[in-house]
């Protein structure tokens, strides 16, 4: 996970899903970011006795890429996000995405079952099942990794500018 440690990011939901996954010794939850809920979330991890959870704190533009690249899956359980630029960043690093249906980026960037999964973050079993499935299926992770890289490669400044001009042209005709 990467983002602000605030209520709407859905970390409480992620912890519930991770609790169902943590029996798998290979699983480690990395939380990149800081925010007003930092201490509260650390307390929740301790109370739930969640293992292998690391709060990385804020990482600047130079540092954050190493953590994306060290990961196998990106989970974004937001309760609401207009977009969610962290999804773009994770895809740029070739990660399969498990993305909340309440993130604007989900509809444009994630093709369900192709480069990740779009989930309802309130459906805890759905999230934990997707995490387990991807950890148990290296070939699926690899296929999704390739698809994430393909899809995000289309999101360039040039393509954005072309889309803008095409829209203006369509209005004028």
The 10s digit of each residue's pLDDT in 93-134 is 999 999 999 999 999 999 999 999 999 999 999 999 999 999
**Residue-level pLDDT at 68:** 98
Find how far residue 19's CA is from the centre of its chain. 18
What integer pLDDT is reported at residue 109 of this predicted model? Answer: 97
Looking at residue 25, its pLDDT comes to 67
On the CB side of 12, how many CA atoms lie within 13 Å of its CA? 7
pLDDT tens for 29-48 read 999 999 999 999 999 999 99
Q: Note the pLDDT tens digit of each residue in 47-82.
A: 999 999 999 999 999 999 999 999 999 999 999 999
Residues in the chain: 173
Q: What is the pLDDT of residue 108?
A: 94
pLDDT at 163: 84
Segment 134-162 mean pLDDT: 93
Rounded to 5 degrees, φ, ψ at 36 are -65, -20
Backbone angles phi, psi at 120, to 5 degrees: -85, 115
Angle at Cα 113 formed by Cα 121 and Cα 127, nearest 5°?
25
pLDDT above 90 (res 9): yes
pLDDT in the model for residue 24 = 65
Average pLDDT value for residue range 165-171: 90
């Amino acid at each position: 996970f990467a983002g602000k440690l605030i209520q709407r990011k859905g970390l409480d939901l992620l912890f519930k899903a991770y609790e169902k996954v943590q029996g798998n010794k290979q699983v480690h939850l990395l939380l990149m970011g800081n925010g007003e809920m930092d201490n509260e979330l650390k307390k929740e991890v301790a109370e739930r006795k969640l293992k292998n959870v690391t709060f990385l704190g804020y990482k600047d533009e130079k540092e954050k890429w190493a953590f994306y690249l060290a990961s196998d899956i990106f989970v974004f359980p937001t309760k609401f996000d207009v977009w969610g630029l962290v999804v773009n960043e994770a895809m740029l690093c070739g990660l399969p995405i498990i993305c909340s249906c309440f993130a604007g980026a989900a509809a444009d960037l994630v093709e369900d079952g192709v480069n990740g999964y779009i989930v309802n973050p309130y459906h805890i079993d759905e999230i934990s099942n997707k995490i387990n499935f991807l950890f148990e299926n290296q070939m699926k992770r690899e296929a999704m990794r390739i698809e994430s890289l393909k899809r995000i490669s289309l999101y360039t400044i040039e393509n954005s500018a072309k889309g803008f001009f095409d829209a203006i042209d369509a209005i004028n005709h």
